[in-house]
Amino acid sequence: MAFAEDKVREIAERVAASSGLELVHVELLGGGKHRTLRVFIDRPGALPTREHPDGVTHEDCANFSREFGTILDVEDAVPGGTYVLEVSSPGLDRKLTKAADFERFRGHRMKLMTRQPVNHNRHFEGTLESFENGKLLLDLTAARRKMRPKEGQAPKVEIELANVEKANLVPEI
């Protein structure tokens, strides 16, 4: 029987909401007897920094894990035998996967990779200046190392959200 990701996600969203939390991401890794169900939760509106880690606590993760794990087992939402349940915060370098993530983290630095090249490049690092109509405007002037715009390239790039393959926040130190 296949992993019912939509059902697991719905249960996770319900449990998170009942605790004043939000579901960030769910993934099932591995196969056979070595499966791990990873769930990332956060506090709505929390903007994590090293100085103010206002995200979820260990207690939040433990409480969520107990309630969520019980419901998963009762509803047999992860069929096929045993699995390990891991619940944690998304971390300072959290993945950005949906439009709401990009709206929430305007003004923050991120790394992203596109599916198709933009200005002959697929890898970018910069500050998200804006996110409107499904388009990100990334300011590349703060970028380091090889991701710095090449000579003659604009210091800003517009990228369609649909073209984003992978994106993560870059922790501000």
**Count of beta carbons in the 10 Å neighbourhood of residue 164:** 18
Which token pair is 58?
Answer: 């260990």
Specify the pairing of strand 36-42 against strand 84-88: parallel
pLDDT of residue 129: 94
* Mean pLDDT per 10-residue interval, the chain, length 173 residues: 77 94 90 88 69 72 95 88 90 88 92 94 93 93 57 79 95 75
Domains and CATH numbers, the chain: 5-88 (3.30.300.70), 99-169 (2.30.30.180)
Q: What is the 3-state secondary structure (H, E, C) of 19-34?
A: CCCEEEEEEEECCCCC
Q: Could you give the CA distance from residue 163 to residue 43 in angstroms, rounded to a whole number?
A: 28
The alpha carbons of the chain give a radius of gyration, in whole angstroms, of: 18
Q: In the block, which residue shows the tokens 């090889």?
A: 146
